[in-house]
Structure 1
Amino acid sequence: MASATDFRIQSSTSVRGNSEKRAELKKSVLNRDVSLAHSPASSLSFELNPNKTILKQHIDAFFDFVYPIPCYAFVHKATFCQSWAQGAHNPRLLKAMCGLTARYIASGDTERLQQATRWIQEAEMQLLMRLSEPSMSDIEALMLTTLDHIIARRFSKMLVTACLAARLAFMMRLNYDDGRLSFLTQERRRRLMWAIFTMETLYSSGRMEFTGCPKDTIHLQLPCNENSFTLDIPVTTEPLKPAGIPNVSHLGLMAYNVRVLDIRDRIQRLSHTITHRQKPLVECVALINGLVDELNVLRHSLPPQFTFDKKNLFLRAYTPQRTPYVMFHTWWHQCQCDMYRFTIPGFREGLPLEELQNLPSDFVAYCRDKCLKHALAVANIMITVTEMGKDIFITDPALVMCTFHSARVISRLGSARFANLPKDVLIAKLKACSDILETPAEIYPTTKLLRGGIFDLIHDAERNSGDSSPLRSNWETEQSGADSDAPGIQRPGIQGSTQSSVPEVYSKYSVTDEIRKLKFYQEDDEPAQECQNGDQDTEGNGTAIASQQIMMPGTSKEYSSQPYLPMPQDVIVNGFGFSEHESGATTTPYDVSMTLGFEPSYGECQPDLFLDSFMPLQNDWNMADPGYF
């Protein structure tokens, strides 16, 4: 019979054996991670084998490329770098930061970019496990993962993380000032809250259903200038809408970008009101005049160092401040341009031709002239930047939205049918919108996609096409005035239109276009889907032929969302909750033809098949919005 002493000896031996097994397992995991290190970046394991040199490269890249993007300047550099040097940093923020910035320092290295995607995934998984105990740095990390989702075209994930960031910010009451905190902490809170607001204005495109952080919920003053934030110099600014005389002495470019994007958000809402006939046009014109006045007041409030000229651009051209500086002036002109787009015949956001014909001709001419004027101003800004240096990189991914929109307006309103710009001038302006995107197109998939559309506009202008579109050069047999535009011609999936001589073109890019094409599994629709599949099998090649007719020529999977691996919460590897052997995308493969969205809410004003390829989408994503004003 075993004695108590024998039992204690056996238990001690068992404990030592288990400890040795755990040590061996930990060592094997470490060795496996090291064995996977085919490049310096892929050897980065934040808990096990931190490489400070590699980490510092990513941190520097963040403050050089991401921090300057308007309204992403919420991480205080000195505070973060000191906490990182002392090992007291938030590892989730560091991981999100490194995963986001890898594309800037290793854009051509597939292996490093895949590792960066895993960092984003690991950071997101850890953040989701801490939803009940959020911190400000966790919300900062969530904002960076959201930006990565936007850049990588993971739009369904972007919607979720953006919503979480807003909810967590409200939980922590970041939308209120707290006088008990230091100035630096209060400013970080303010910048983070305004970042959430402005990010939502960019992807919501004025639609209420995608607005989770309305400005009425933010009871904060605007962010201060960069110098005061960097050096912790307490200053007082003003709210988004000042009650009295504006006090702009301590405002910086971030605050001015918040204001211009707020105005743009209201312009987008007004555009929906006009195109969906939710209010009489007379009332909408009064609202337009009010927004124009706001834009003019905003521009006149700029201090001399922020006005746009070659000297101010030169002083910032090779500093991170070039991005918010250029983007403010680009957004300002883009707001003016978007204000009048409803008068351009054939644009999706434009009124039908018969309604435009009922408006006073001088009013329509005035609106079109203003729209073209500001689109040309955007092109002129791009020319000034590229003349300053072809290597100047404007890092904001939203730059392509402005240049693509402006290129479409210039292509349409600058044509012989309207302003009749000289051919060389027209082509030069279009090329300016394309040239500025050369470097961003190597990093951002959406930029590469839309830059291709601008190339097609240039091609159309060079061959003197009539009604051009980003797709027209892909249809070499399609010519202006061909039978395809003739009245009465019906095409598969397109309703007849009384304005067939003014075909609707793909003129505007927004994230809501991407959101509309998302496909989600509907449990109640499963039998119907199976029935539809059976019908397709019995119909032979007819459906396939129809599908080919509405596909954009040269469609590629190149612009699909970047792979993102599913992470079951019950799988724990390396302490991250991530299984490295799993694979499989969680989003539907991206089809570029679906970017050109079908709009049931426009009734008979549907796209022309040869000018705007489309795929039928779910109607509930496209219903007219309720009134905004």
Structure 2
Amino acid sequence: MGCRVCRARKVKCDGRPNGCRNCERLQLDCLGSAAGLPAPMTAASLPKIRTYRSCQSCRLSKTKCNGKRPQCARCAAKRLDCVYHGDSAPRWAHHLSKASARQQEALAVPTLHLMPSPPEPAVAALVVSPPTPVVDALAHPVESHLPVDASAAGSHSLAWLLSPNLPSGRNLGRVVEQYFANLHPLRCFAFVHKPSFMSQLDKGLTSDDESALLHVICAHGAKFLVLASAQPDATPPPPALHAAGNQWAKRAEFLMLANFGRISVQRLMTAILLHDFHFRLGEYGQALMISGLAVRMAHALKINVEYNSDILCASDDANAPSVASRESRRRLMWACYVLDAWAGSGIDQLTLLREGDIKIQLPCNERNFGLRIPSVTETLGVGHVLQFLPPAIVPRRPAANMGIMAYYIRVVALWKRIVRYVNHLHASPPPWQPDSHFAALDADLHLWRRELPDFVEYSTETIYARLDSNQLGTLLLIHCTYHHNYLELYKITMPSLFKLPKPYDFPSDHYDFLKAAQANCYYHAHQIADILVEAVEYGPRLLSDSLLPFFVYDSSRVMLYYVALAFCAS
């Protein structure tokens, strides 16, 4: 086979190794045989003095032309008009260069641009495991996901939040504290045992899994730190700081996915926090995929069942998990349950977790968790405890050991049942009948509200108590979720607003039931608005849960719709 240059020129090639004679005579790069490998460097690869095209004047005089454009050397010296016909290279040369470029792209190993500088010493000390060549090549975000340059924030005091590297010292503590003060209390995110985490952080993290968790915690903390700086009486932060923490979340995502076959509790924590991070940025596709990964991790870790029957950790087994570790695993499983509930949106095909598969007790209160005090709590069913517990260790009121997180899990479980009922509306008796699913769900909502302890009530005393413990956002969320459950249940009475696929046709003799349900729906929508209006007075960070905008949207629609109905009726 001849070289590719000769084949492109359609001339005979002698096939001489290290460059054929034709390419040597024409001083061209001999591009090798059909294998596509370039020939080794020869004299033909030196800078060429031959040109593909000669100007018209040199061609007529049969003299050598150097092909320089717009005027060759001979025409410039003789002050002649230099005119060329055609491009600077023939057609076969263009085809050859295109084919060569395509082949080089196919053979080239893609190079990802990683962090422009090595980690700071304080952060490098946290991750002591040596990276493999593959991990080192993929370790940092791709160019399209690179963080905003820190210079874009100018001389702002928080410009370091745009650095690709984690901060160190005091700044690292600032972002971590922002996470624990703002996101950690919300929903079921309180699965990280703060004393243990801070102790490990001081000693130095020893694995990529722990580093990934630290990165996503700092990513969330960076958002709240920017929010805290945007005070009405202060200079607003530059727009570039809106991207603060994004680069650390990308790093955490890489560390989680680089070897996702290796499953650990820290990786699952990272996945849950990454799901919420993507959800806040409006990246719902990424959030949905991570939710599935998180549920599979939970099943693989078998945290949907208790580690053993020793709930109070009374045995002397040194290999058994500690009190804090057991409770952290429970909270992590319930966080997966809540995540799966909201991600599935009541659609059976998207919901991966079933209540019957979760055979653990509900989380204990924050005091017991922080102080590592073992305790027995109820299960998802009201008044029930784990069946294998001996009666001697079951307290008289196991619910006294439960915190606000346990009651939030129960109201989310009610929401799942309500949405499933609305999606399969005609499979149950009509809602106005006393034995209908509608009546049963309404009674369960009243029961949940009646079983609330004083420390979860929405009252002035509770508001100030939760404000002092950074849990007011949690209190707002649980009560907004409760009222939103009524909006979901009573949406069957407003089919034109919620566009139900198969709405109920309420007969005229049940007109009073319809009007009462609509009025009740309006009442709960107004309650959501009142709660959030009051919360604004305490600062915007208390409205930081990513579900609240959806509650506000539905609440506003219901109130406007009800007022419009009343106006038309009058």
* Fold shared by both chains (TM-score > 0.5): yes
Shift of 1:358: 5.8
Shift of 1:390: 5.4
Q: Which runs of 4+ in 1 moved over 6 A?
A: 351-354
Aligned-partner Cα distance in 1 for 2:403–2:305 = 20
The change in CA–CA distance for 1:243 and 1:314 in structure 2 (over 3 A counts) is closer
Q: What amino acid is aligned across from residue 265 of structure 1 in structure 2? A: K
Question: Are the counterparts in 1 of residues 492 and 504 from structure 2 also a CA contact under 8 Å?
Answer: no
Question: Are the counterparts in 1 of residues 362 and 402 from structure 2 also a CA contact under 8 Å?
Answer: yes
Question: Are the counterparts in 2 of residues 151 and 397 from structure 1 also a CA contact under 8 Å?
Answer: yes
User: For residue 331 of structure 2, what is the aligned residue in structure 1?
Assistant: 191
Q: What amino acid is aligned across from residue 324 of structure 1 in structure 2? A: T
Q: Deviations over 1:293-330 (max 9, x none)?
A: 22222122122222111221122235421011111111
Q: Deviations over 1:250-305 (max 9, x none)?
A: 1111111000011011111111112xx44453589711111122222212212222
Shift of 1:350: 4.4
Aligned-partner Cα distance in 2 for 1:285–1:151 = 41
User: For residue 162 of structure 2, what is the aligned residue in structure 1?
Assistant: 42
Q: Deviations over 1:181-210 (max 9, x none)?
A: 222111100111101111222232211121
User: For residue 99 of structure 1, what is the aligned residue in structure 2?
Assistant: 219
Aligned-partner Cα distance in 2 for 1:71–1:28 = 36
Does the alignment pair 1:270 with 2:424?
Answer: no
SS in 1 for 2:188: coil
Does the alignment pair 1:256 with 2:398?
Answer: no
SS in 2 for 1:209: coil
Aligned counterpart in structure 2 of residue 137 of structure 1, from 246, 263, 266: 266
Q: Which structure 2 segments of 5+ residues have no match?
A: 1-113, 121-139, 141-147, 152-158, 228-236, 309-319, 386-396
* More RCO (CA 8 Å, sep 6+): 1
User: For residue 169 of structure 1, what is the aligned residue in structure 2?
Assistant: 298
Aligned-partner Cα distance in 1 for 2:482–2:278 = 26
Aligned counterpart in structure 2 of residue 316 of structure 1, from 450, 454, 466: 466
How do 1:221-260 and structure 2 match up within 5 A? 221-242=361-382, 244=384, 247-260=398-411
Aligned-partner Cα distance in 1 for 2:323–2:402 = 15
SS in 2 for 1:106: helix
Aligned counterpart in structure 2 of residue 346 of structure 1, from 496, 499, 510: 496
Q: What amino acid is aligned across from residue 436 of structure 2 in structure 1? A: A
Q: What amino acid is aligned across from residue 140 of structure 1 in structure 2? A: M
User: For residue 590 of structure 1, what is the aligned residue in structure 2?
Assistant: none
Q: Percent identity?
A: 23
Aligned counterpart in structure 1 of residue 287 of structure 2, from 145, 158, 181: 158
Shift of 1:133: 1.7
Aligned-partner Cα distance in 2 for 1:248–1:178 = 21
Q: Deviations over 1:202-233 (max 9, x none)?
A: 23221112112222221110011111111111
Question: Are the counterparts in 2 of residues 69 and 323 from structure 1 also a CA contact under 8 Å?
Answer: yes
Larger Rg: 2
Question: Are the counterparts in 2 of residues 322 and 394 from structure 1 also a CA contact under 8 Å?
Answer: no
Question: Are the counterparts in 1 of residues 186 and 474 from structure 2 also a CA contact under 8 Å?
Answer: yes
Question: Are the counterparts in 1 of residues 492 and 500 from structure 2 also a CA contact under 8 Å?
Answer: yes
Aligned-partner Cα distance in 1 for 2:500–2:258 = 46
Q: Which structure 1 segments of 5+ residues have no match?
A: 1-25, 421-465, 468-629
User: For residue 529 of structure 2, what is the aligned residue in structure 1?
Assistant: 379
Shift of 1:410: 1.0
Shift of 1:116: 2.2
Aligned counterpart in structure 2 of residue 407 of structure 1, from 553, 556, 562: 556
Aligned-partner Cα distance in 2 for 1:347–1:197 = 30
Aligned-partner Cα distance in 1 for 2:361–2:204 = 33
The change in CA–CA distance for 1:251 and 1:128 in structure 2 (over 3 A counts) is same
Question: Are the counterparts in 2 of residues 70 and 323 from structure 1 also a CA contact under 8 Å?
Answer: no
User: For residue 278 of structure 2, what is the aligned residue in structure 1?
Assistant: 149
Aligned-partner Cα distance in 1 for 2:466–2:480 = 16
Question: Are the counterparts in 1 of residues 528 and 552 from structure 2 also a CA contact under 8 Å?
Answer: yes
Aligned counterpart in structure 1 of residue 456 of structure 2, from 295, 300, 306: 306
TM-score (norm 2): 0.63
Question: Are the counterparts in 2 of residues 74 and 191 from structure 1 also a CA contact under 8 Å?
Answer: yes
Question: Are the counterparts in 2 of residues 221 and 237 from structure 1 also a CA contact under 8 Å?
Answer: yes
Does the alignment pair 1:334 with 2:484?
Answer: yes
Aligned-partner Cα distance in 1 for 2:498–2:427 = 17
Does the alignment pair 1:216 with 2:356?
Answer: yes
Q: Deviations over 1:322-345 (max 9, x none)?
A: 011111111111112221111114
Q: Deviations over 1:323-373 (max 9, x none)?
A: 111111111111122211111141124477882356721221121121112
Question: Are the counterparts in 1 of residues 428 and 436 from structure 2 also a CA contact under 8 Å?
Answer: no
Aligned-partner Cα distance in 2 for 1:141–1:332 = 28
Shift of 1:174: 1.0
Aligned-partner Cα distance in 2 for 1:57–1:31 = 19
Kindly tell me the number of residue pairs found equivalent between the two proteins: 390
